[in-house]
Amino acid sequence: MKIAVIHGYLLNGTGSNLYVQNLCRQLCISGHDVMLFCQDVELENYDFIESAYRFDKDNENMERFHEKRTPFEGKCRCFVPNIGKQLPVYVKDMYDRFEAVEITKISRHDMESYINANKKALRACFMDEKPDVAISNHIVMQPVYTNRALEGLEGTVKLTVAHGSSFNFSVRKSNMALNYALEGLNAADGLVFLTDYSQREFEDYFDEIAEIKARKMLIPAGVDIEGFFPLEIGESKSERIKRLMESIESEKGLLKNNMESGASREFESLIKNATGEELSEKKAMLMAKGDGKAIDPDIMEKLLKIDWENENILLYYGKYLWTKGIHNIIISLPFILKENPNTRLVLVGFGTSRGYLETLVNALDMGDLDKLKYLLKYPEQFQSHVERGTGHYSKWVLDILRDSEKAKDYMKTARGNVKDRVVFTGFMDHGLLRDIIPCADVVIAPSIFPEAFGLVGVEALACGVLPLQTYHSGFKCVVDSYEGLFELDGNLKGIQKLCLDENLVRNISCGINAVLQAYRSRGEELVLRIRKDARNICVDSYSWRSVADRFLDEAQSEMENLEKVKLEV
C-alpha cells in the first residue's frame, strides 16, 4: 500500500512528532511505502527514511538532500515543502529555521500563503504518485492543504488524526481556525482519535456546530518497545546513566546554552533578590530562560551529582508549561522531603515556564513566604498559557500558607533544602530519555489541562517504571490500564487517584510517599515485580505494530467502501 503521512512539523520532541515518526517506521517495517511530508531536515538518525527532498521557493521542483539504505521492506521518502520563514504553531515554541507564530495570531492572508505552499508541494508529488491513503495529523491545517492537493484525484482514502493541541489551543480559540478545521474535516473519510475522551470532547464541541460525516475510529497511540526498555537483570542505574552521558558527549551540538553567561547570572540574581511584584515586570526574561530545545551546558555535572543508586528519583519529562502542572510537584516537595529526605526531583524539558518554576524553587529554598504566595496567586504575571481556574488545584497549599503555624512548618522543611533537591536538565530527545527513564523510581505526569493521550505513562511502563498521572482526559485510559500495579502492595492500594481538585498537591505528595514507603518495605522484590508487570502491560496494549495494523485495517475498509460506491454509480 502507498501511504502519504502529512505532518507540518518535526519528527522529534513533542507527542505528535513522535507519533508520526513511530507510525511511519512501523508502516515501513510492515512493508508499505510511505511518502512523508514534514519540516524536519536533520534526518540522519531516522532509520526508516531512505531519501529526502527539499522543494524550491515555488514548491514546483525539488532536490534530493538525503539518501541511505534502510533495513525495512517498505521505504519512506521524506518531502520538505518550502513554507518560508513563518511556521504556524498551536503553542509558542522555538525552531532554528523558523519564526514560530501561534495560529490564533496569524492573519488569514499569511495562513492562505502557508496552506498554498504546502498544497503545491503535495500536489507536485501526488500528480506523479497518487497515494492509496493520506493520513493528516492535527485537525488544522494539514487536512486542509492535503484535501486541496488531492482535488480532482479520486480514490485516495483521507484519514485525519485528531491530536489534542490543535483542537484545544487553536480551534477552540479562533474562528478562523475553526473554519479551516471544518473545511478539512468535511473532506475526511475517517477521523482517528487516540482516546475515547478525545472523541467525546470533539463530539461535544462539533456536534453543535456542524454535521461531520467522516467515520470515527479509536486507535490508541503506541510506544517504541524496542527503544524503551527496563534495566536488565544485573544492570545498575549508574551503568545506564553512564551510557546516557556517553550519548550526550557524542552529540556535542546538544550542549548549547540558551542564555549568555552574563544574562544567566542576572537571572539568578533577579529571582533571588526581587519581590514577586518586581519579578512580574520581568516576565520576558523569565520566559526566555527555557525557551529553546537545548540541554543545559552543565548537564554532566548535574548528572554526576545525583546518587542514582541510593536516592529516590522522581522524574518529570515534557514541556515546561503551566498546563503541565509541574509547579504542583514542586510545591509538594516539602511534604515529600519531610518523610523521604533522600529524594531528588529531575525535571527534563524545555518551555517558557522554566523561569517561573526556578523562581518557585528559589522562593521555597530561601523560605520567602511572601514571594511564594505571590507566585502561586498570580501565575499569569510570569508566564503564558495559564488557563483560568487551574490555580484552584494548588488551593490546599495556599490554605496552609495562610495558617501561620502550618506555614512555618512547611517553610522550615523547604528552607535551604529544596534547591539542591530539584534538577533542571533542559531538553532531552527520546534517544536520551530512554536511558534516564529506567533510572527513575517514579515518573510523574501531573498535567492540569486536557491531554489527548498519556504517552509519558506508556513510555514509563515500557521502561518498567511506575507512572503517577493525573486522572483526566486522555490520561484516564492509560491510568486505568496500569491500575493493577497498585494491587501489588498494601501501601500502594491506598493511593488516591490524582483527580483535578483542590487536594491535588496533597494527593501527589501522599501518592509519592506511599510508593517510596512500599519500596522501602518490600525492597528489590517489589521493584522487580513492578518492572516486569509494567513492561508486560505496555507490550500487550501499546505496541506500534498493533497501532499500524489497525490503521491499515481501517484504511482497507474505507478503500472497499469507495470502490463499492464507485461501482454503484
> Cα 262 from chain centroid?
31
Angle at 104 between CA 103 and CA 107, to 5 degrees: 75
Calculate helix-pair angle for 395-402, 404-414, nearest 10 degrees: 110
Give me the sign of the Cα torsion angle 544, 547, 550, 552.
negative
Task: Give the mean model confidence (pLDDT) for residues 279-283.
Answer: 92
Q: How crowded is residue 221: how many other Cβ atoms within 10 Å of its Cβ?
A: 24
| The CATH number of domain 237-288+320-540 is 3.40.50.300 | no
Per-residue pLDDT of 489-521, as tens digits, reads: 999 999 999 999 999 999 999 999 999 999 999
Asked whether 138 and 180 are in contact (CB, 8 A), the reply is: no
Confidence of residue 77 (pLDDT cuts 50, 70, 90): very high
Q: What's the pTM?
A: 0.79
pLDDT at 252 over 90: no
SS3 101: strand
pLDDT score, position 280: 92
pLDDT score, position 164: 81
SS3 131: coil
pLDDT score, position 165: 87
Pairing of strands 62-67, 49-55: antiparallel
Phi, psi of 101 (to 5 degrees): -125, 130
Which sequence spans correspond to the domains of the chain?
A: 2-222+543-568, 237-288+320-540
Asked whether 92 and 120 are in contact (CB, 8 A), the reply is: no
Could you give the percent of the chain with pLDDT greater than 90?
Answer: 82
Task: Give the mean model confidence (pLDDT) for residues 117-134.
Answer: 97
Same fold? 2-222+543-568, 237-288+320-540: yes
Half-sphere exposure (CA, 13 Å, Cβ side) for 367? 10
Confidence of residue 93 (pLDDT cuts 50, 70, 90): confident
Nearest to 466 by CA among 431, 502, 442, 430: 442
Q: Which fold has domain 2-222+543-568?
A: Rossmann fold (3.40.50)
pLDDT score, position 262: 62
Task: Give the mean model confidence (pLDDT) for residues 370-379.
Answer: 96
Per-residue pLDDT of 34-67, as tens digits, reads: 999 999 999 998 999 999 999 999 999 999 999 9
- Alpha carbon distance 236, 458 (integer Å): 22
- What is the amino acid identity at position 138? H
Burial class (CB in 10 A: 0-12, 13-18, 19+), 332: buried
pLDDT at 555 over 60: yes
Locus of grid cell 525552531: 95
Task: Give the mean model confidence (pLDDT) for residues 1-14.
Answer: 94
pLDDT at 569 over 60: no
Helices (H), 194-321: 196-206, 237-250, 261-273, 276-280, 283-288, 299-305
- Alpha carbon distance 309, 158 (integer Å): 50
pLDDT at 253 over 70: no
pLDDT at 385 over 60: yes
